[in-house]
């Protein structure tokens, strides 16, 4: 047999890696189908020694990571800030200017600025002791929850808390410690939504006045074919710029946070 016959061709060499990966995946599935540990020993520390229980823990970890942004949006000032910013854009009538990426990014950085004292407490009371090995993960989670609860208690309305306590058929809370977090979070969220819509109403009023004035002027001039929204847009942008709207908006959002 010649040397060229023994040496695999370029197509066969390209197929080696996919075939090897497919074989490894088949061995892994075959090893775990019967309730055994994975064949690859490197996966055991990640999944844990419990076989299927390790996979369940891994799935729960992925679920917690995927839900983390929604949870953080509900226990911080982010929801109120982003709604108010979208109300501003709707009042201006500038369609996608500023774009969603800019609006959400500004809301995120304003949230970080507003929540900085709370994050500092979480870092000092929870993360640093856990990173140094002085407390367990459960104790770190309990310590991290307390500053967030204090922040929410400072902004939640008593009426909203009483509503969820009644709907949950829970005994009346005498102290803050008696209020479960599952009651505090939805009460805080609906209070933030209420505050955001009140701010949105106040923001939309001057823009509506400009729209009415422009529409009345166009109608009186007999220019029916001219869209009032197109004519009112530069006047609303000019009004917002002359009033230094972004600075006033950021100042009011931070001070109300």
Q: Where are the domains of the chain?
A: 14-39+77-256
Contact of 31 with 37, CB cutoff 8 Å: yes
Q: Give the model's pLDDT for residue 52.
A: 54
Look at residue 11 and tell me whether its pLDDT is greater than 70. Answer: no
| Residue 174 backbone phi and psi in degrees, to 5 | -90, -30
- Specify the pTM: 0.70
* C-alpha–C-alpha distance, residues 197 and 192, integer Å: 9
Q: Which two tokens stand for residue 45?
A: 């520390």
Q: Which of 48-62, 138-152, 172-186 has the lowest mean pLDDT?
A: 48-62
Average pLDDT value over all residues in the chain: 76
Q: Which two tokens stand for residue 102?
A: 């800019």
Q: Give the model's pLDDT for residue 42.
A: 43
pLDDT in tens, 167-204: 888 887 788 787 888 888 899 999 999 999 999 999 99
Contact of 92 with 207, CB cutoff 8 Å: yes
- Return the residue matching tokens 């939309």: 204
* C-alpha–C-alpha distance, residues 203 and 107, integer Å: 17
Q: Give the model's pLDDT for residue 55.
A: 67
Confidence of residue 53 (pLDDT cuts 50, 70, 90): low
| Residue 208 backbone phi and psi in degrees, to 5 | -65, -40
């Amino acid at each position: 047999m010649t040397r060229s016959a023994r040496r695999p061709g370029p197509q066969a060499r390209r197929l080696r890696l996919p075939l090897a990966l497919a074989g490894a995946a088949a061995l892994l599935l075959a090893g775990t189908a019967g309730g055994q540990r994975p064949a690859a020993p490197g996966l055991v520390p990640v999944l844990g020694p419990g076989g299927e229980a390790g996979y369940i823990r891994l799935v729960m970890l992925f679920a917690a990571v995927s839900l983390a942004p929604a949870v953080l949006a509900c226990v911080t000032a982010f929801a109120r800030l982003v709604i108010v910013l979208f109300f501003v854009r709707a009042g201006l009538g500038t369609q996608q200017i500023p774009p969603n990426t800019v609006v959400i990014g500004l809301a995120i950085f304003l949230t970080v600025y507003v929540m900085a004292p709370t994050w500092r407490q979480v870092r000092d009371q929870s993360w640093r002791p856990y990173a140094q090995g002085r407390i367990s993960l459960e104790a770190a989670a309990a310590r991290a929850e307390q500053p967030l609860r204090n922040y929410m208690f400072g902004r939640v309305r008593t009426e909203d808390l009483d509503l969820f306590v009644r709907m949950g058929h829970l005994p009346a809370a005498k102290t803050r410690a008696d209020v479960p977090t599952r009651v505090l979070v939805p009460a805080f969220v609906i209070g933030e939504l209420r505050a955001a819509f009140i701010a949105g109403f106040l923001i939309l009023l001057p823009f509506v006045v400009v729209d009415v004035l422009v529409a009345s002027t166009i109608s009186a001039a007999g220019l029916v074919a001219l869209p009032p929204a197109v004519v009112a847009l530069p006047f609303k942008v000019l009004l917002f710029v002359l009033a230094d709207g972004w600075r006033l908006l950021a100042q009011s959002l931070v001070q109300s946070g």
